[in-house]
Structure 1
Amino acid sequence: MPRPKPFNTSRRQFLSCATATTAAAMIPYTFTTNTAFAQSKKSGLRFALIGVGGNGTRTAPVGKEFADLVALCDVDSRHLDRGNAMLCDGEADLYSDYREVLARDDVDVVQISTPDHWHTKILIEAMRAGKDAYCEKPLTLTIDEGKLIRRVQKETGRVVQVGTQQRSSFNLFNKALAIIADGRLGKLKKITVGIDSGGWSPEIPVAEVPKELDWDRWLGPTPTMEYRYLEDSKRRYTNGHTHFRWWYEHSGGKLTDWGAHHVDIAMLGIDAAGQNSDPASVSGTAVHDVEFVDGMPVQHNRYNTARQFDLNVAFADGDVTMNIRHDVDNGLLFEGERGRIFVSRGKLVGKPVEELQSKPLPEDAVAKVYRGMPMIGNDRPAHWANFIHSIEHRTLPISDVHSHMKMLNVCHLAGICCRLGRTIQWDQATEMIVGDDQAAAMMSRPYREGFEIEG
């Protein structure tokens, strides 16, 4: 894929604004808080962590500020032992089968931090077992899985918070959305979403499965495949732990990894501007390191998700476009008729940000984009606080499954576009790919016998 033309001087300068501008963006905003809730964070709820790998051990300590962690579940005993020592002083109940956790009447909440391909099955069964859930993103592997999750959530009334914690980033992402909602950019014209390139690997040989890992259960609903592992002096490569994101069998690659964060904020920005965020099509180009036939990889010993991409999302009204690419700064560049801002996990910059010094936003501007809910903490702590608040009040959390899936469907459509190498047309009203039977068939996938997801 040819590299795009470099940013022109003004844009390069814009993205590296003076330190003073970045500092101004980082000035804490005055939040509307629920004082009683903030003073008593412990809810009395008991929760279990299902999936005790990297994301699990990063997010569960935050959850422990609000609920009691009583059980851990993982198919790798090494994760269980490490997590029990790290999170629970060796006192947690340990499980290798999540169904035993869901059967406990004294577990109110589950945090699902498994690899992506297990999210849907465990979440659906958790909701039907009467559990509220905090589930890491991306919620699903397919579009049709999202339809099922949304239906079950409505049927059961369970509270599900998706782990897109950028929705609870008040000093950066929510402040950017407030700037847009206040009309400081005018009508949005273009959003550039930078999510970095995907993973690369050499050929990875078949290897012996570690004795502590139940590989068959780790694979779960996905096709049977041999365990692969390679380690050199610099790094390791595998189709298992951590590196599952680079295999279409288990994930959607970078598009459903960072894409699930930044495309999310992009579409919230369109909504904040009062414009139509219904996607209509995805087009563009991608680079894979393996050959594809009919949208399926034919080589099985290397990472197979898209490594490079330049994708364009068109929306129903045609007045704003989204460009998702690997080769620009990680973050979002919002460009409107009156100005532009760039926001990432490290900065919020642009002339409209500088102008806040002399013309601040209305006092409730950030609170409004946070749906008027209590704003306690920031990022992960705020996201968990919002989850607990929503459980106590039986309301939709800030990152609910319905708005999440509208965004994630764009990421899934982008992945199908990459795999088939052609434009994908989408009808938001029916939530269907139109005019392309082969692409439409990729809205779902078969499940391995014994691990089916019940509708």
Structure 2
Amino acid sequence: MNQTQTKLASSATRQRLSSRRRFLKQTAIATTVACVPYHLTASRARAESKSSRPQFALIGVGGNGTRTAPVGKEFADLVALCDVDSGHLEAGNQLLCDGKADLYSDYREILARDDIDLVQISTPDHWHAKILIEAMLAGKDAYCEKPLTLTIDEGKLVRQVQKQTGRVVQVGTQQRSSFDKFNKALAIIADGRIGKLKRMVVGIDSGGWSPEIPVMDVPGELDWDRWLGPTPEMPYRYLANPKKGNGYTNGHTHFRWWYEHSGGKLTDWGAHHFDIAMLGIAAAGQNNDPVSVDGTATHDVEFKGGMPLQADRYNTARAFDLNVAFADGDVVMNIRNDVDNGILFEGDQGRFFVNRGKLVGKPVEDLVTKPLPDDAISKIYRGMPMKQNDRHAHWENLMYAIDKRVLPISDVHSHMKMLNVAHLAGICCRLGRKVNWDQSTETVVGDELAASMMKRPYRAGYEIEM
């Protein structure tokens, strides 16, 4: 295969996919449970016979894709790759599949294949919800990188479609699958070792910085229009950086620092650490429904009405000191960029700190003489078997959930409750004022402009195909 073998969607395939989606949608509407058995695809035959491994496709062959897909290959056969950058496709094919994968530049061709059971979605953030929704409607299970959505309203639609179709979706918040750190931390809280939870300090580091970035010609291997997809049309920008080989750009690797494509650190590290912090509130038996986000943030560009006024440099928040209030008025989550990356849990009887490298504090030291109950971790995992750590355990849990047709450890519903906090924090930063939230209606209250930022228009031709 060479670069020209990248398969573009034909009109016949488009018609077949459209017809199949209509059928699946009609079937899905009648489905009211969270998870249902496989139906009407080659997946069913494989699931029933257990005679062969499932097949999966990787959509988005960049850094996260090439780091996570090799773990997926332990459980399923990687047969197809999709990317809008032909250079990524060729390199990924050699790295992951010895040059033998089917290559695509349009993910819809993958979704049209009945022989593909699940997809791994590792695109930039602004593509996640659209591809995931269409994948579920096409009868695919999925592993989708965090953050699951670009907006709050996208999350509502993702959850609705998951319930309708019963597809299994594992969000890539793999800290939920880290036995020796984060889930032990949650077990410590659940066992009452720090008493009533009062405060959490969540460190997520400072956001990206850039100088002014000039408009440049789009690299020949990149389909820039398709890379932008649902987000507003804009010129490609790039500036070489002698200290970093990938330079400054509004494209590959640096998309996180543009509100058009992501939410900065709040939806990057925040999607990991807010998740554990809010699970900690629940583990303590307290109400983790968010009610407001308030505080201060620093951007490198000026904003008006929540929109950046400068288009040639990174525009997400660089620094922040935010407080999230919850329905349990006794607990608050403080989000900062100027403390250690990780989570400090403080209760009325003790405190401890956890991140990917350490779990420290007196409640942790006390485990030597007073260990946790034997079933403490199992309860955190809802009784599901977990053997490894991080990405391996996350994929293993996904395959267990697919086999049993149950919600995985990082399901879309609990993920979106946490991610909504990250989105609300971003709205707070952009407007520079407190944002109030009604969890019962999942709506911003008392602020029309802030409420309007729960959604964004899709660029013509890139709307979600329902």
Same fold by TM-score, threshold 0.5 exceeded? yes
Could you give the per-residue CA deviations for residues 305-342 of structure 1, whole angstroms, max 9, x where no partner exists?
00000000000120100000100000000000110010
Aligned-partner residue type, residue 433 of structure 2: R
Could you give the per-residue CA deviations for residues 372-411 of structure 1, whole angstroms, max 9, x where no partner exists?
1011211110000000000000000000000000000000
The match for 1:271 is: 282
Could you give the per-residue CA deviations for residues 124-148 of structure 1, whole angstroms, max 9, x where no partner exists?
0000000000000000000000000
Asked whether the equivalents of residues 42 and 66 of structure 1 are also in contact (C-alpha less than 8 Å), the reply is no
Cα distance in 2 for residues equivalent to 1:317 and 1:392 = 37
Residue 57 of structure 1 deviates from its aligned partner by 0.2
Matched, 1:218 2:227: yes
The match for 2:294 is: 283
Matched, 1:110 2:106: no
SS at match of 1:180: helix
Matched, 1:135 2:144: yes
The match for 2:108 is: 99
Aligned-partner residue type, residue 402 of structure 1: H
Aligned-pair identity in percent equals: 80
Could you give the per-residue CA deviations for residues 231-271 of structure 1, whole angstroms, max 9, x where no partner exists?
03212100000000000000000000000000000000000
One of 169, 183, 202 as aligned partner of 2:211: 202
Residue 210 of structure 1 deviates from its aligned partner by 0.3
Distance 1:239 1:187, change over 3 A: same
Cα distance in 1 for residues equivalent to 2:441 and 2:74 = 41
Matched, 1:372 2:377: no
The 10-residue stretch of structure 1 (259-268 or 363-372) with the greater mean CA deviation from structure 2: 363-372
Matched, 1:292 2:303: yes
Matched, 1:360 2:371: yes
The match for 2:189 is: 180
The match for 1:382 is: 393
Cα distance in 2 for residues equivalent to 1:375 and 1:305 = 36
Could you give the per-residue CA deviations for residues 70-96 of structure 1, whole angstroms, max 9, x where no partner exists?
000000001001100100000000000
Cα distance in 2 for residues equivalent to 1:389 and 1:443 = 34
The match for 1:344 is: 355
One of 305, 310, 335 as aligned partner of 2:316: 305
Cα distance in 2 for residues equivalent to 1:247 and 1:42 = 46
Matched, 1:191 2:191: no
Aligned-partner residue type, residue 408 of structure 1: L
The match for 1:335 is: 346
Q: Summarize the alignment of residues 307-322 of structure 1 with structure 2, pairs less than 5 Å apart.
A: 307-322=318-333
The match for 1:149 is: 158
Cα distance in 1 for residues equivalent to 2:328 and 2:204 = 25
SS at match of 2:222: coil
One of 442, 451, 454 as aligned partner of 1:440: 451
Cα distance in 2 for residues equivalent to 1:420 and 1:193 = 22
Cα distance in 1 for residues equivalent to 2:52 and 2:100 = 20
Cα distance in 1 for residues equivalent to 2:351 and 2:241 = 44
Asked whether the equivalents of residues 223 and 448 of structure 1 are also in contact (C-alpha less than 8 Å), the reply is yes
Cα distance in 2 for residues equivalent to 1:162 and 1:61 = 17
The 10-residue stretch of structure 1 (43-52 or 182-191) with the greater mean CA deviation from structure 2: 43-52
Matched, 1:408 2:419: yes
Asked whether the equivalents of residues 42 and 65 of structure 1 are also in contact (C-alpha less than 8 Å), the reply is no
SS at match of 1:114: coil
One of 393, 398, 402 as aligned partner of 1:391: 402
Aligned-partner residue type, residue 66 of structure 1: F
SS at match of 1:189: strand
Aligned-partner residue type, residue 447 of structure 1: Y
Distance 1:277 1:43, change over 3 A: farther
The match for 1:67 is: 76
Matched, 1:255 2:266: yes
Q: Summarize the alignment of residues 15-54 of structure 1 with structure 2, pairs less than 5 Å apart.
A: 44-54=53-63
SS at match of 2:58: strand
Cα distance in 1 for residues equivalent to 2:71 and 2:349 = 39
Residue 42 of structure 1 deviates from its aligned partner by 10
How many residues are aligned here?
Answer: 415
Could you give the per-residue CA deviations for residues 88-124 of structure 1, whole angstroms, max 9, x where no partner exists?
0000000000000000010000000000000000000
Cα distance in 1 for residues equivalent to 2:192 and 2:328 = 19
Asked whether the equivalents of residues 168 and 382 of structure 1 are also in contact (C-alpha less than 8 Å), the reply is yes
Aligned-partner residue type, residue 345 of structure 2: F
The 10-residue stretch of structure 1 (279-288 or 43-52) with the greater mean CA deviation from structure 2: 43-52
Aligned-partner residue type, residue 283 of structure 1: D
SS at match of 1:124: helix
One of 329, 334, 347 as aligned partner of 1:323: 334
The match for 1:23 is: none
SS at match of 1:75: coil
Could you give the per-residue CA deviations for residues 334-374 of structure 1, whole angstroms, max 9, x where no partner exists?
00011001000000000000000000000110111111101
Q: CA RMSD in A?
A: 1.0
Asked whether the equivalents of residues 43 and 66 of structure 1 are also in contact (C-alpha less than 8 Å), the reply is no
Cα distance in 2 for residues equivalent to 1:117 and 1:53 = 15
The match for 2:434 is: 423
Aligned-partner residue type, residue 280 of structure 1: V
Matched, 1:76 2:64: no
Aligned-partner residue type, residue 115 of structure 2: D
Q: Gaps (5+ residues) in structure 1?
A: 1-40
TM-score, L = length of structure 1: 0.90
SS at match of 1:438: helix
SS at match of 2:239: strand
Distance 1:391 1:43, change over 3 A: farther
Asked whether the equivalents of residues 311 and 414 of structure 1 are also in contact (C-alpha less than 8 Å), the reply is yes
Aligned-partner residue type, residue 288 of structure 2: S
Asked whether the equivalents of residues 245 and 251 of structure 1 are also in contact (C-alpha less than 8 Å), the reply is yes
Asked whether the equivalents of residues 120 and 140 of structure 1 are also in contact (C-alpha less than 8 Å), the reply is yes
Aligned-partner residue type, residue 251 of structure 2: G
Structure 1 segments of 4 or more deviating over 4 A? Answer: none
Cα distance in 2 for residues equivalent to 1:145 and 1:88 = 33
